Amino acid sequence: RHVADFQLSIASVTEDSSSDCLAQDLHLQAQKLAERLKCDAVVREISAGPGTVNFTINRELLAKTVLQQVLKDGSQYGVKSELFSTVPRQKAVIEFSSPNIAKKFHVGHLRSTIVGNFIANLKVALGHEVIRINYLGDWGMQFGLLGVGFQHFGNKEKLKSSPLQHLFEVYVQINKAAEDENTKKLAKDFFRKLEEHDEQTLSLWKQFRDFSIEEYSRIYKRLGVHFDEYSGESFYHEKSQEILKTLEDKGLLQKTIKGTGIVDLSEKKDLSSFSTVMRSDGTSLYITRQVTHLYLAAAIDRMNKHSCDTMIYVTDKSQSNHFQHLFQILKLMGYDWAERCQHVSFGLVQGMKTRRGEVIFLEDVLNEVRSRMLQNMASAKTTKEVEDPMETAEKVGLAALIIQDFRGLLSSDYQFSWDRALQSRGDTGVFLQYTHARLHSLEQMHGNEQLTDVNVACLQEPDAISVLQHLLRYDEVLYRSSQDLQPKHIVSYLLTLSHLAAVAHKTLPVKGSAPELAQARLCLFQAARLVLASGMKLLGITPVTQM
């Protein structure tokens, strides 16, 4: 018995919405309605189920419409759907990744990087203009400490060749002496010189920043991520003083007994909710990274510079309060666009370790996933010789990381597992890549020609219909993800597509079938591969063609 394509629940359309409407009444109403409805060129069959009316689409029309659309639109399939026709094209600024120079690039930064990249990819695909910003932790007292550390332990050559590693080592070393009064004084002096634009100090700081960005860019490139702008706290430390003055002029800044500067955010103005924007010694809150007045300066500056429709911040959920406060203060300052700002938060990843221990640098994760994948590929019996095993291992490994990360709600924490992520069977990125490579080699084997005038009417088998029905729903999934910015809708869609395609690949052989049938099946598999590749690219995965 085949499954209907569409179903209408009678309860949802009857006037009598009271729950005591009996099941048999509903069934009766369903039967009556089904009898009154007529089939047409699109609907082939109408039947009643338990309280539902079921519609089956003309199979030939289904095959023809879906396959023509996919092959015609190519990578634009789904995006061109009328679901998006009323959505206005917008300009969005997305701030993501945002690591601290000289500190660990922890797993939270990795999450922010891949989630931000996904949101940017999705928005671009849907025709919006996107500016990708990386807001670096490149200012503050820790640079006083780092500067002193570098004068003691630094090495110009190492700074050039591996800046992130070297600055981290220097920072760890000088931190051991951080409590020492003399070190403290030197660090304060160094940072004061920085703030006063002392040439020599500034030039050293600039090297820290420039070399770090250079290395970050190289690593981001391995991830398939790029930024339009490397911003940072250093850009706003002066502008932020103006913000404090504005807050004061507007009567929004209050001083506590201890001299801390706060903004009252409560409805009743009883300080039941407030945000701290300045420490009592007049310096900003550099203790944490959530330096509210720096963020205020950055937000206002971006809005003036880019005049965008929306600003999206991608960070872990521990910063939710900080961003709620930020948006509230902007509104109090009279910036109505604060309502169009959004914080996309995500949960924590536990247990991501490399063989050498704790993850310190993003590169460690990339190297680890590549080497584990190479090992798996080498031991797999089905592996053909691939042209560039390193490159393939990296792309497949990245797919594994991304799918493991994107399978659930972004806000939930999850336990990371290398073994689970890298399984070749089951719902993993490896399985998606494997399916894509298999479908690709099927096309290669059978001439790879442009399929035109194919008689797709012969695609009547249930396994072919399942793939077609699923392809038809791609736009709905894109629409859902565009609404809530959650990648999981796309992930589960692609995993199902891969399972359906794998089944069809077994039961609907191309080789040895009559030419007309072979062509039609090839056309079906090509459409499945195109949609699979499109969805993978949105998630930030580069599809591989051999594996």
CA-closest candidate to residue 284, choices 269, 271, 294, 274: 294
Element housing 505 (H / E): helix 488-507
Beta strand extents in 183-258 (DSSP E only): 229-232, 253-255
Q: Which two tokens stand for residue 320?
A: 């939710």
**Residue 276 pairs with which residues in a beta bridge?**
262
Instruction: Examine the residue annotation and report whether 106 is marked as an active-site residue of this protein.
Output: yes
Under a CB-based contact definition with an 8 Å cutoff, are residues 103 and 137 in contact?
A: yes
Cα dist from 360 to 99, 103, 353, 366, 389, whole Å:
12, 8, 9, 12, 26
CA-closest candidate to residue 171, choices 188, 187, 193: 187
Catalytic residue among 32, 72, 91, 103: 103
Under a CB-based contact definition with an 8 Å cutoff, are residues 224 and 395 in contact?
A: no
Length of the chain: 547
Under a CB-based contact definition with an 8 Å cutoff, are residues 224 and 234 in contact?
A: no
For helices 515-539 and 107-125, the axis angle rounded to 10 degrees is 120
Under a CB-based contact definition with an 8 Å cutoff, are residues 102 and 159 in contact?
A: no
- Dihedral sign from CA coordinates of 252, 253, 254, 256: positive
Under a CB-based contact definition with an 8 Å cutoff, are residues 233 and 137 in contact?
A: yes
Instruction: Examine the residue annotation and report whether 343 is marked as an active-site residue of this protein.
Output: no
In angstroms, the CA 428 to CA 415 distance is 15
Instruction: Examine the residue annotation and report whether 237 is marked as an active-site residue of this protein.
Output: no
In angstroms, the CA 232 to CA 205 distance is 13
Under a CB-based contact definition with an 8 Å cutoff, are residues 442 and 523 in contact?
A: no
In angstroms, the CA 160 to CA 152 distance is 17
Catalytic residue among 27, 72, 80, 106: 106
Q: Which pairing describes strands 261-264 and 253-255: parallel, antiparallel, or unpaired?
A: antiparallel
Residue 68 identity (one-letter amino acid): Q
Residue with tokens 């690593």: 219
Q: What is the DSSP letter of 2?
A: P
3-state secondary structure string, 526-545?
HHHHHHHHHHHHHHCCCCCC
In angstroms, the CA 299 to CA 326 distance is 9
Q: Name, in order, each residue with C-beta under 8 angstroms of 506's C-beta and a sequence gap of 6 or more.
A: none
Rg (CA), the chain: 29
DSSP letters along 276-309, please? EEE-TTS----SSS--HHHHHHHHHHHHHHH--S
Q: Which two tokens stand for residue 478?
A: 């894109």
Catalytic residue among 72, 109, 152, 237: 109
Which positions are catalytic? 103, 106, 109
